[in-house]
A = this chain, B = another copy of it.
Amino acid sequence: MANIKPLGQRVLVKRIEADAISAGGIVLPDSAKEKPQEAEVLSLGTGGKDDKGNAIEFTVKVGDKVLISKYGGTEVKVDGQEVLILNEADILGIVG
């Protein structure tokens, strides 16, 4: 998966399973799980430029745990693995 380079201001993330972040000790059956909203940043895009031609820097970095909306981004499936490519602007926050 390290060999996918998102274009522009996009980042590649992988959802973190909900039970890994659940506070309680109850294990829900698979169909009852909510889609997790936490994800890990796998790689940053090729970047972009602002109106003056200056490179726009990313705020997140590889390895960051981030919060994403339930429906954000585009799901892609490569080599059997589901990952998500989304614009950095669609990342809601960083879990520090």
Mask for A25-60, Cβ within 8 A of B = 1, else 0?
000000000100110000001100011111000011
In the complex, A12→B93 CA distance in Å?
A: 9
In the complex, A91→B80 CA distance in Å?
A: 20
Task: Chain B residues near A24: list those with CB within 8 A.
Answer: 80
Interfacial residues of chain A within 54-96, with CB under 8 A of chain B in the complex: 54, 59-60, 66-67, 69, 74, 76-80, 85, 88-89, 91-96
In the complex, A59→B5 CA distance in Å?
A: 11
Contact A76 B96 (CB under 8 A): no
Contact B92 A60 (CB under 8 A): no
Task: Chain B residues near A67: list those with CB within 8 A.
Answer: 4, 76, 78, 85
Contact B21 A79 (CB under 8 A): yes
